[in-house]
């Protein structure tokens, strides 16, 4: 189930330049290749209630255009060099989002990818094919399952502190994912023992321009992967501290153990991660466990999944991944903020495949605030229907519809404007890769 959910729209944004369908081959001679890459995305969004002081429904649109070049060249007996450069334009129109990140007047065109790397090929047989992979520059970085780091995705607009944190908007589509400065060393390929050492620096002001050092160690075999992650906070820019938790990041250490696979049981999927943080203000933890089963021989191959997630009161979710990785719920994860600290989440999912090109997923989420002392009470439930239609190999249409029902609202301890009535929403998104 977890792998199926990753096929939904947000995952397409990350994979734009890695898909064969998303590149036009400029040059290829068997040794060197150069590709042109283009991705276009557009979304229309409608929500009945907001989570800022704005009565009535909210309707807005978001779009992005990503364009650039990528390529590689083989070095005789010495692996290969690869790299990419791209620009990304993003915009928001209409009312802006109901979480108060955008105004509808955001427009930005800026550098996204600019990195260079080297892979070892068969140079060191003991480490396997491409057993050494070194890269540096502005690029997307994922660590483990994405529970702690999966790109630099949050893209606020002009609505936050009069534009102080403006990154170009298109907040929901989250098309900006590259960390501005990185150095990445990966050892050991994809099987057996493998690991990484990573340095990254964000230029995302909403993340206080956080700088981190990361290390991972994994073992992968047929039943799945077990891994360890260590993350050390190096620095922040105090001028852009938007929440008190950012002040704890310098010197903060996060340790995690994780697992992912089928444990040797056909048609199943299991995953977990437990993260423990030590910092000046105290210690915190966040964890999840999930299980899923696919009825492989039943029509439409239905998949069922269950996931339990818990975050302690002041857990710092760092650079968590998008939907299908750790964002849970549409309203909850994007606008009402019920999802990644001081909360317990249960979600149940059902996915079916009516055709090779259509995936349908129904998900139910239940959120419970752990401690409402001096905090908002964000107890709520959410039900969402996702459709994922691959119209062609280049064109994807992904609408979703749902309802979010909080227990409280702004006047009695929650944050939904007007009342605690059900909040119905619809999102219509289309993305094209060339």
Rg (the chain; Cα; Å): 21
CATH code of 31's domain: 2.40.160.100
**CB–CB of 103/159 below 8 Å?**
yes
Sequence-separated (6 or more) residues with CB below 8 Å from residue 397: 387, 389, 391, 429, 430
Domain count, the chain: 1
d(CA 190, CA 220): 7
d(CA 257, CA 274): 6
Q: Which of 410, 385, 400, 405 is nearest to 430 (CA)?
A: 400
Token pair of 9, please? 């729209």
Tens of pLDDT, residue by residue over 183-201, are 999 999 889 999 999 999 9
* Domain range enclosing 127: 2-433
Give the N- to C-terminal CA distance of the chain in Å, as an integer.
28
pLDDT in tens, the chain (434 residues): 433 333 334 434 444 444 444 578 989 998 999 999 999 999 999 999 999 988 889 999 999 999 999 999 999 999 999 999 999 999 999 999 999 999 999 999 999 999 999 999 999 999 999 999 999 999 999 999 899 999 999 999 999 999 999 999 999 998 999 999 999 999 998 899 999 999 999 999 999 999 999 999 999 999 999 999 999 999 999 999 988 889 999 999 999 999 999 999 999 999 999 999 999 999 999 999 999 999 999 999 999 999 999 999 999 999 987 555 556 889 998 998 866 889 999 999 999 999 999 999 999 999 999 987 667 899 999 999 999 999 999 999 999 999 999 999 999 999 999 999 999 999 999 999 98
Give how far Cα 289 sits from Cα of 112, 307, 427, Å: 34, 6, 28
User: Half-sphere exposure (CA, 13 Å, Cβ side) for 316?
Assistant: 25
Tens of pLDDT, residue by residue over 100-138, are 999 999 999 999 999 999 999 999 999 999 999 999 999
Q: Which of 171, 243, 180 is nearest to 211 (CA)?
A: 180
Sequence-separated (6 or more) residues with CB below 8 Å from residue 119: 79, 80, 82, 130, 132, 133
């Amino acid at each position: 189930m977890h792998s199926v959910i990753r096929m939904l729209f947000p995952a397409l944004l990350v994979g734009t330049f890695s898909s064969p369908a998303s590149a036009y081959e400029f040059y290829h001679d068997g040794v060197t290749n150069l590709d042109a890459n283009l991705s276009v995305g557009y979304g229309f969004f409608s929500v009945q209630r907001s989570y800022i002081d704005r009565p009535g429904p909210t309707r807005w649109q978001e779009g992005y255009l990503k364009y650039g070049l990528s390529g590689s060249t083989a070095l005789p007996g010495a692996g290969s060099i690869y790299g990419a450069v791209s620009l990304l334009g993003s915009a928001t129109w209409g009312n802006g989002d109901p979480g108060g990140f955008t105004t509808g007047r955001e427009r930005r065109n800026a550098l996204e990818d600019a990195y260079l790397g080297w892979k070892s090929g068969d140079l060191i047989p003991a480490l396997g094919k491409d057993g050494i992979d070194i890269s540096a520059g502005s690029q997307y970085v994922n660590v483990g399952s994405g529970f702690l780091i999966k790109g630099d995705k949050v893209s606020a607009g002009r609505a936050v502190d009069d534009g102080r944190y403006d990154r170009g908007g298109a907040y929901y589509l989250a098309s900006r994912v590259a960390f501005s400065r990185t150095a990445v060393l990966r050892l050991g390929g994809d099987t057996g023992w493998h690991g990484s050492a990573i340095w990254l620096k964000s230029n995302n002001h909403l993340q206080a321009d956080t700088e981190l050092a990361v290390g991972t160690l994994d073992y992968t075999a047929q039943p799945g992967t077990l891994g360890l992650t260590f993350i050390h906070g190096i620095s922040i820019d105090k001028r852009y501290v938007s929440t008190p938790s950012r002040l704890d990041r310098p010197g903060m250490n996060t340790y995690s153990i994780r697992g992912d696979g089928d444990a040797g049981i056909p048609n199943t999927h299991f995953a977990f991660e437990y993260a423990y943080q030590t910092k000046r203000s105290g210690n915190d933890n966040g964890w999840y466990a999930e299980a899923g089963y696919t009825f492989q021989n039943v029509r439409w191959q239905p998949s069922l999944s269950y996931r339990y997630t818990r975050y302690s009161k002041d857990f710092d979710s760092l650079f968590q991944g998008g939907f299908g990785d750790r964002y849970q719920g549409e309203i909850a994860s994007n606008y009402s903020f019920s999802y990644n600290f001081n909360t317990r989440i249960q979600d149940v999912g059902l996915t079916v495949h009516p055709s090779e090109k259509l995936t349908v997923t129904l998900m139910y989420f239940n959120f419970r605030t752990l401690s409402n002392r001096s905090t908002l009470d964000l107890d709520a439930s959410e039900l969402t229907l996702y459709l994922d239609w691959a119209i062609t190999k280049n064109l994807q249409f992904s609408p979703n519809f749902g309802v979010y029902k909080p227990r409280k609202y702004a006047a009695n301890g929650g944050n939904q404007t007007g009342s605690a009535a059900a909040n119905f929403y619809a999102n219509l998104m289309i993305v094209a890769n060339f």
